[in-house]
Every structure is written in C-alpha cells, then in structure tokens.
Structure 1
Amino acid sequence: MNLNHGQQRGTIERSQVRRAELIATGRKLFADTSYDALSVDDIAKQAGVAKGLIYYYFTSKRGYYLAIVEDSVAELVARVGGDADLPGAERVRRTIDGYLHYAEHHRAAYRTIVTGGVGSDAEVLAIRDAVREELVAAIAEGAYGHRGLPPVARLALVGWLSSVEGITLEWIGGLGGPGGTEVAGRPDRAELGAMLVRQLRATLMVIEEFVPECPAPPATEGPFGQCDDLAPVTGSS
C-alpha cells in the first residue's frame, strides 16, 4: 500500500517523537546506572517497549548511548551559544551562565560529556572534544570578535576551560540530591559565574602579554570590568 505525502510525513514525525522519547528515557536511566550495568533488556523494560525497537532506532546499546550523549551535547551547545546580537562581553557572561545552568540541571549528562562517559570510548571522547572546541570558539568570539585563535591563545583558553570543567564538577557534586545534602556555603550560580568570568579576564590579560594581536577587552566593558564581576559576590554596585 502506497502512502501519500501527508501519511509519510505523519509516519516520520511519529518516528522522530518515539526516538526522542527513547533518548529522554535513556538519559534518566544512565543518570542513575552505569553503562555496563544496563542491558538492552533492562532499557527496553524501563522504556516499556520491545528491545527490537532499540535496535531499530540505534542499532546497538552503544549506538543508543552515543545518541544520548550527542543529544546532551546539542542541548549544552544550544544553551551556551549566546545571542549574536549582544555585545561581546555580555555574550561571554551569558555563555558561562548557560554552561553552569546546564550543569546544574543536568548533572549526570554533564559528567558524561566532560569525563567522556564510557571508559576510553574514542567516539564519546570525540563528541566531548567537539563541544570543548565549540565552547572555546564561543568565548573567543565574545572576547575578540572572531573564532580563530593563534596557538598560544588557544592553549590558554583550553587551560581555562579545563579549570572550569574541574570547578563545575566539584560544584555540582555539592548540590545535594537523593540521599545527599547540599554542601554548606556552596556558591550559587551567579557567584560561581562571576568568579569564572574574573578568571577568564585574568587569562585574557595573560594572552595579551604573549599574543599582542589578541588584546584583552577593555576592563570597563560590561562583565569584564572589575566592579561588575564582583557585584554578584560582594553585593557592591
């Protein structure tokens, strides 16, 4: 039986919805259980589907897991992409806040992205590296107005981002949750974002010393200004 165009479109849309539902279920499952501890039978049972459907959409458990990681990365990149119409400095602040917002509300997915997920799986690590490149490029565009970077400048920003990853992992570890309590004195997202912006400012000044063609944005420009950075922490204006 031949399907008309409307029927074909409806079938495709239902297929896309079902695939998205399976990915959403997988994100919840892998948030609480390690990759090796979940079988396709377990996944199918939790999702309420026949395991053949998992194979139909994702070929294998690994394919399913990679689709979940890619979906998480796409969401993170979309959140930190920023608004191109904003001034560069404000775009940087929004990028950092969006990054922390994602980590705060998607802790398991964030850990998977940053740590590489399944052991030393090369494909998962490649996905992680791609999101790092996008984040470094977004910061460079906000700071310098372009994404291309000389090697020394890129190394410095990669170093800053590595620090951000470690700090963020420690921060979300103190959020508390099921069976745990929040660490007393833990900074909120605004306070942590202000600290990371100040650290970025210091990194940009170091870059300027070594790469004069990459001058740090003026200290008076929005969030790169000293007072602006400290305001969320100290309450000063």
Structure 2
Amino acid sequence: MTSTPRVRMSPDSRREQLLDLGVRLLSTRSLDELSIEILAEEAGISRGLLYHYFGNKHDFHEAVVRRAADDLIEQTAPPVSGEPLERLLVSMGAYLDYVVANYEGYLSLVKGAASGSDTIRDIYEQARAVLTDRLFQEDSEGLVLQDSPTMRLVVHAWSAYAEDVALAWARDPAGVSRDEVLAVLADSLPALAGTVTRS
C-alpha cells in the first residue's frame, strides 16, 4: 500500500488556504461561532499552528472578515460596459446572491460593525465605501450618479436600506421572488436620486 506524499506548502500559501477555509466556514456561522479550534479541526492541523499564522482569535477574525469583504467587493463588481442601470442590476444581483450564500457571516459582520470591534467596523465601512463609490465612477457611458455631498448622503442611506432588504429576504423570502427584490433595490436608487436638486 502506498500513501500519497504530503505536499509542503509555503507559509503564505498555507495562510491563504486557512483564510479561504475561514471564509467558507463563516458563510454558515456567526463570527462568534468561528473559533480557532473549529478551523484547526476542519483544516486538520494543530491550534498551535493556527496561532503561528494569526496570533490570536481577534487577529484571526479580523483576517477572515477582511478576506470576506474583499470577496464581496470582487463578486459584486459591475460589468465594465452597458447602461448604468443595467450594470447596477447585475451588481445588485451579485450582492443579493452573496448575502444569501453567506447569510450568517454577513449578518455577523453587520452586527459586529454596529456594536463590536473598531477594526471590524473599519473593514465594514471600507467595503461599503467601495460598493457605493462605484455609483460615482465615470466610464464610457458617463457617470451613474452626479457626485455631490447631498447625493452621497442619499446613497449612504440607500445602501443601508438595500442591506436591510437583502438580509430580510435572505432570512425569509416570504413568497417574494429574487427578481422582485432586485427590481425594488434597483428602482429605488434612481427614485431617491431624483429627489436631489442638481446644482
């Protein structure tokens, strides 16, 4: 009987593998439930090795949340071409799918940002800023929204509304289809933006 030789990974590759596993585990449990012990068991390594890579539980949580936020930003990137509202619809569809697939972890991030660690709050705010800043970026089709302090305030409020709708629907669709949710989210932004007086 022959055994498969173990492949020795570089420290960076091993850390990346552990972060990917942490994000995967976070999709089905809250941040508080994501312990180093669980990750060590799932990865088949010792807790001591995990502490070597992440230092402590707080550093581990921070690294996993940062990776999850990066994944959210990447997965919700809008297409580079097309009408602004069509691109918004595609991006919002990806956002809704992300919230559904990662409900426990995303809810934990939102709650953590509201009441917990300053670091988690910073990661959350940075990710949210990237998602909303896209609405003001100019491309070949022009600006999605005209940039102004008032419009920024409206978009900030709309993003909180969109987040609440997505989380509520992911928790209990209550007979509302994905297309209906997307229509509500995509149509509400232009409606709100229309209330802003152009300078």
Provide the TM-score with structure 2 as the length reference.
Answer: 0.82
* Structure 2 alignment gaps of length 5 or more: 1-6
State the SS of the aligned residue for 1:137.
Answer: helix
Show the counterpart of 1:151. Answer: 149
Show the counterpart of 1:111. Answer: 107
Distance 1:21 1:117, change over 3 A: farther
State the Cα distance separating 1:147 from its structure 2 match: 7.9
Show the counterpart of 1:188. Answer: 177
In structure 1, C-alpha distance between the alignment counterparts of 2:64 and 2:194, rounded to whole Å: 38
In structure 2, C-alpha distance between the alignment counterparts of 1:110 and 1:121, rounded to whole Å: 15
Show the counterpart of 2:69. Answer: 73
Higher deviation after alignment, 27-36 or 188-197: 27-36
In structure 2, C-alpha distance between the alignment counterparts of 1:199 and 1:118, rounded to whole Å: 24
State the Cα distance separating 1:29 from its structure 2 match: 4.0
Show the counterpart of 1:85. Answer: 81
In structure 2, C-alpha distance between the alignment counterparts of 1:36 and 1:83, rounded to whole Å: 35
Q: Which has the larger radius of gyration?
A: 1
- State whether residues 40 and 51 of structure 1, in contact with CA within 8 Å, keep that contact through their aligned partners in structure 2: yes
State the SS of the aligned residue for 1:86.
Answer: coil
In structure 2, C-alpha distance between the alignment counterparts of 1:193 and 1:28, rounded to whole Å: 25
Higher deviation after alignment, 97-106 or 18-27: 18-27
2:195 to 206, 219, 230: 206
Count of residues in Structure 1 that have an aligned counterpart in Structure 2: 191
Identity of aligned residues (%): 25
Q: 1:1-237 residue pairs with structure 2 within 5 A?
A: 14-36=10-32, 39-116=35-112, 119-141=115-137, 145=143, 149-174=147-172, 184-185=174-175, 187-207=176-196, 210=197, 212-213=198-199
AA at the equivalent of 1:169: L
State the SS of the aligned residue for 1:169.
Answer: helix
In structure 2, C-alpha distance between the alignment counterparts of 1:134 and 1:166, rounded to whole Å: 18
In structure 2, C-alpha distance between the alignment counterparts of 1:194 and 1:163, rounded to whole Å: 14
Provide the TM-score with structure 1 as the length reference.
Answer: 0.70
- State whether residues 137 and 148 of structure 1, in contact with CA within 8 Å, keep that contact through their aligned partners in structure 2: no
* Structure 1 alignment gaps of length 5 or more: 1-9, 175-182, 214-237
State the Cα distance separating 1:32 from its structure 2 match: 4.9
In structure 2, C-alpha distance between the alignment counterparts of 1:100 and 1:195, rounded to whole Å: 12
Distance 1:21 1:188, change over 3 A: farther
C-alpha deviations, 1:62-115, integer Å up to 9, x for none? 111111111111111112221223332222111211111111212123213333
Distance 1:92 1:37, change over 3 A: closer
Distance 1:161 1:184, change over 3 A: closer
State the Cα distance separating 1:116 from its structure 2 match: 2.7
- State whether residues 137 and 147 of structure 1, in contact with CA within 8 Å, keep that contact through their aligned partners in structure 2: no
- State whether residues 73 and 113 of structure 1, in contact with CA within 8 Å, keep that contact through their aligned partners in structure 2: no
Bigger relative CO (Cα 8 Å, ≥ 6 apart): 2
In structure 2, C-alpha distance between the alignment counterparts of 1:129 and 1:55, rounded to whole Å: 27
- State whether residues 22 and 64 of structure 2, in contact with CA within 8 Å, keep that contact through their aligned partners in structure 1: yes
State the SS of the aligned residue for 1:116.
Answer: helix
Distance 1:118 1:31, change over 3 A: farther
Distance 1:153 1:94, change over 3 A: same
Higher deviation after alignment, 138-147 or 116-125: 138-147
Q: What is the alpha-carbon root mean square deviation over aligned residues?
A: 2.8
Higher deviation after alignment, 53-62 or 26-35: 26-35
AA at the equivalent of 2:54: F
AA at the equivalent of 1:198: D
In structure 1, C-alpha distance between the alignment counterparts of 2:110 and 2:142, rounded to whole Å: 26
- State whether residues 31 and 105 of structure 2, in contact with CA within 8 Å, keep that contact through their aligned partners in structure 1: no
